[in-house]
Amino acid sequence: SHARRSTNGIAIPSWLANPGKVLMKSHVRTSKYSPLVEEVDLIEANPEYALIRRANGKEVTVSLKHLAPTGDSSIFGREESTGQDHSFESDRAVPHVSEVPVIESNSFPNPVLTEEQRRSQRERKLPLYLQDYISK
């Protein structure tokens, strides 16, 4: 990975500059249902490595490429403050039972098999590679 350069030297992202919660990739998983990331506490970071504290209290130095910022919860807060209703129920209104039209069963003709219906006259054979397995 390349260092982030600025006019004053090397810079680190703002979410790494302050201690707090970050996500760390889990390299050892007991099953495919184990989480891919775990939430850890960031203690301090430099342009290449970070010191983190796991949930069990163990402090570990990890590479920055294994860390990611936690999701921004303010995104959901802004959506509510705009007053827009984004619910799926309003888009798909279910009609009342009395509004649903009743379809009579006599309106659809039942297909009846007749002797005049055309059938394929092609002779069906097994593939040639299966001829060795046919018992006569």
pLDDT of 7 above 70: no
State pTM to two decimals.
Answer: 0.49
Average pLDDT over residues 16-27: 93
pLDDT of 108 above 70: no
Residue 119 to residues 4, 31, 82, 113, 125: CA-CA distances in angstroms?
73, 55, 65, 11, 17
Average pLDDT, the chain: 76
- List 37's β-bridge partners, or say none: 25
State the pLDDT at residue 67.
Answer: 95
User: Distance between CA atoms of 22 and 39, rounded to whole angstroms?
Assistant: 6
pLDDT of 134 above 60: yes
DSSP string, 47-94: SSEEEEE-TTS-EEEEEGGGEEEPP-THHHHHHHHTT----HHHHSPP
Domain 5-69 - what CATH class? mainly beta
State the pLDDT at residue 136.
Answer: 63
35-44, 52-61, 63-72, 99-108 — which is least confidently predicted? Answer: 99-108
State the pLDDT at residue 40.
Answer: 96
36-45, 54-63, 99-108, 118-127 — which is least confidently predicted? Answer: 99-108
pLDDT band at 79 (very low <50, low <70, confident <90, very high): very low
State the pLDDT at residue 81.
Answer: 47
- Give long-range contacts, CB 8 A cutoff, 24+ apart: 35-41: 37/68, 39/70
User: Distance between CA atoms of 68 and 38, rounded to whole angstroms?
Assistant: 10
SS3 7: coil
Domain ranges of the chain: 5-69
Neighbouring residues of 108: CB distance < 8 A, sequence distance ≥ 6? none
User: Distance between CA atoms of 3 and 88, rounded to whole angstroms?
Assistant: 44
- Percent of the chain past pLDDT 90, that is, above it, reads 35
